[in-house]
Structure formats: structure tokens, C-alpha cells
Amino acid sequence: MNNTTILECRDVWKIYGAKADSFLEHTPDPKKGELRKENLIGAVRRANVQIRKGEIFVIMGLSGSGKSTLVRCLSRLVEPTAGEIFFEGKNLLTMSEAELIEIRRTKMGMVFQQFALLPHLTVLENAAFPLDVQGVDKKNREARAMEMVELVGLKGRENNYPRELSGGQQQRVGIARSLVVEPDLWFLDEPFSALDPLIRREMQDEFMRLQNMLHKTIVFITHDFDEAIRLADRIAVMKDGEIQQVATPEELVLNPATDYVAEFTRHVSRSKVITAGSIVQPLGDAAFAGTVLHSQLIDDIAKQVEDSDAPYKVEKDGEVIGQITRQGVIDVLVGRS
């Protein structure tokens, strides 16, 4: 991930109801009560987001928070009522329909909760379908699709039909289909929420494996905070159409910006979001049991540190920045840090 912004929205609103456009012109920053009085629904309210190239950016919130509407605005599947949206520096809202279609075909991939596979097509044909729409010849599109089928672990199933696959396998086909055009930006709207817990965990593992290989820019929607902290580089927490806070999982837990974010994160296992670098202490005189990286989660290193009488060195970019101790880890595990 780098700091280059690939997608940005500025003061984006999506209001549903009669004469929403004119209402917003006369009332540029309406409160919820003002919207209700006019029988309007503020699905997205003054959203500002910058998404960096190569990051997994998770938008999360409870049902009705506006997260799916915001993502549909970002991809212009839904027309915002007001605001600006820039993709690679170009305003999506001023593009022609033809320009927008071309971007969706070549630069954006989308995976939704509903698999939306074509039942009369095989796995390979489903995966190749976006290239078929682009007019790519059969030999080349099937070769590319086969690469994606293998990438998502479905080699040997390429001639099966959707009805012959499990839910998790069908979702893998959806992922292969969205990747076949090599998108720069990948939208995933609760892609695993319809799966049972075991398959969901397996798909999260698969998703992380793919991201480690492909380094895509990903906008991922979920209502599951455990899923969010497992996958995200940064998280936007939404409530009633508003973005409450944008931060890393660790920052959300340690420094919630609002009471809502604090409540939302209250029951998160802190060891799953706090890193060694956050509890580092000055170096002492004792011998060290080993070395951990500043970015490692406490949950991943707790056992080895707890089992040792000696502290561990903490390294960042090849330099020792301090140490962590058994007591420091225990404080995190019991909620004292």
C-alpha cells in the first residue's frame, strides 16, 4: 500500500424522496430532523473518503447505516444527490455513460452478496463472461479465465455448472469473474455474509491469500467487526448515513472518535488489534528471548512472550525500537492496556 489516492469522495450526499435535489440546494447541511420533516431519507450524508492505492478499505456499520449506498455511489451504480467523486483524478460524476461503462468494464471489479452466476454457463464460461462482453476472442478469454479459476482454487471444476457447486465455491467463481478484467479497484459488498461461519472463515483466508498475491485496491463492505479488523488496513464506521470515523483497526479501538464508535468496538478482543509497537517499552539490561516486529498483533505473539521470562526486542524497519514484556502482553489480554 502507498499514499497515492485512487478513489476520493467529497461531501457526497444521497437523499431519497421527492425534490431531494432542490431541498439540498436550499438547505445545504440538513439535520436528520429536517430531512424527516420533508419525508426525505438521508442514506448518505456529507461523506468524505480517500482510498489509497493497494489498501483494503472496509466500510462497516449496522443494517441501514448507509454503507452499501455509499459504495454504490462510489461506483456510480447509484447517482449521488450532491458531491464529487474522483477516480484516478477524474470526476466520475461528469463522465458520459460510455466513459463510465468503459471504466467499469476495464478498471473496476465488483462482487456482491448474491453470487449472480449465470446458471446455463459453466464455471469457466461464467469467469470469462466479462471478457466476452468486451469482445475478447474465445481462445484468449478462456485462457485468462482459466488463470483466474486456478487462482481461486477451482481447477478441475471449470466445466461444472453453478448448481453443482457449494456456496463457497460459487462465491469463488464470482471472485474469479470480477478479477478476470484485472481491475484497478475492487468492490466487495458483504461477499461472505451468506456463507456459514466455517466457509466464511475459509473465504476470508482465501481473500487474504489473493490480496497478498495481487495487491489490489479493495473497498470491502461488512457489518461484522471481527471480519473488518481481520481484513482491513483502514475502516470507515458509518451510522445513519454519516461516517463516524476513518482509522486503522487499532486506532478505532484505542482512540474512538465518538461514543458510537466506542460502543461499536467495546467488545472487540484488544489483542487482535493492538500491535507490539503500541506497548513497546524502553530497552532494559536483561538478555532477550528473541525478536518480534512492531506490526505483529499481540494475539499472534502472546504465547511465545508469555512463556518466556525474558523480554522480546521489538524491531521496526530493521532497527530495535524497544522491548515488550510478559506483563505488557498480559495487560493487553486482560484489558488493562
pLDDT of residue 1: 55
Of 14-28, 89-103, 181-195, where does mean pLDDT reach its minimum? 181-195
Architecture of domain 272-333: Alpha-Beta Complex (3.90)
- Of residues 57 and 26, the one with the higher pLDDT is 57
pLDDT of residue 183: 87
pLDDT of residue 226: 87
pLDDT of residue 218: 93
Sequence-ordered list of residues with C-beta below 8 angstroms from that of 94, at least 6 positions apart, any chain: none
The rounded mean pLDDT for the chain is 91
Of 220, 265, 273, 219, nearest to 248 (Cα)? 273
- Of residues 58 and 153, the one with the higher pLDDT is 58
pLDDT of residue 213: 87
Residue ranges of domains in the chain: 272-333
Residue 14 CB burial class (10 angstroms; 0-12, 13-18, ≥19): buried
Of 60, 56, 37, 35, nearest to 45 (Cα)? 35
pLDDT of residue 154: 92
Whole-number Å distance between alpha carbons of 106 and 59: 23
Sheet holding 234-239, edge to edge: 108-112, 185-189, 217-222, 56-60, 234-239, 242-247
The pLDDT-based confidence of 214 (bands split at 50, 70, 90) is confident
Give me the mean pLDDT over the 156-177 stretch: 91
Whole-number Å distance between alpha carbons of 23 and 179: 40
Phi and psi based region of residue 46 (left: phi greater than 0; alpha: psi -120 to 50; beta: remaining): left
- Of residues 1 and 42, the one with the higher pLDDT is 42
pLDDT of residue 286: 81
- In the chain, % of residues over pLDDT 70: 98
Question: What is the CB-side half-sphere exposure of residue 53 using CA atoms within 13 A?
Answer: 11
Whole-number Å distance between alpha carbons of 268 and 249: 10
Give me the mean pLDDT over the 43-71 stretch: 94
Adjacent-strand bridge partners of 52: 5
Answer whether residue 334 shows pLDDT above 70. Answer: yes
pLDDT of residue 104: 86
b/e per residue, 30-60, with b = 16+ CB within 10 A? beeeebeeeebbbbbbbbebebbbbbbbbbb
Amino acid letter, residue 165: L
How many other CB atoms are there within 10 angstroms of residue 239's CB atom? 18
The rounded radius of gyration (Å) of the Cα atoms in the chain is: 23
The pLDDT-based confidence of 335 (bands split at 50, 70, 90) is confident
Torsion of CA 95, 144, 198, 194, to 10 degrees: 40
Answer whether residue 63 shows pLDDT above 60. Answer: yes
> Per-residue pLDDT tens for 259-306?
999 998 888 888 989 999 999 999 988 899 999 999 999 999 999 999
Q: CB of 37 within 8 A of CB of 232?
A: no
pLDDT of residue 182: 85
Written in H, E and C, the secondary structure of 2-37 is CCCEEEEEEEEEEEECCCHHHHHHHCCCCCHHHHHH
Residue 307, SS3?
Answer: coil
Q: Degrees (nearest 5) of the Cα angle 82, 41, 235? A: 70
Give me the mean pLDDT over the 202-228 stretch: 89
> Per-residue pLDDT tens for 80-135?
999 999 999 999 999 998 999 889 888 988 887 666 789 999 999 999 999 998 88
pLDDT of residue 336: 67
Whole-number Å distance between alpha carbons of 298 and 336: 14
Give me the mean pLDDT over the 31-56 stretch: 93
Q: Degrees (nearest 5) of the Cα angle 20, 28, 80? A: 50
pLDDT of residue 87: 95
Whole-number Å distance between alpha carbons of 215 and 97: 29
Adjacent-strand bridge partners of 217: 185
Sequence-ordered list of residues with C-beta below 8 angstroms from that of 307, at least 6 positions apart, any chain: none
pLDDT of residue 115: 67
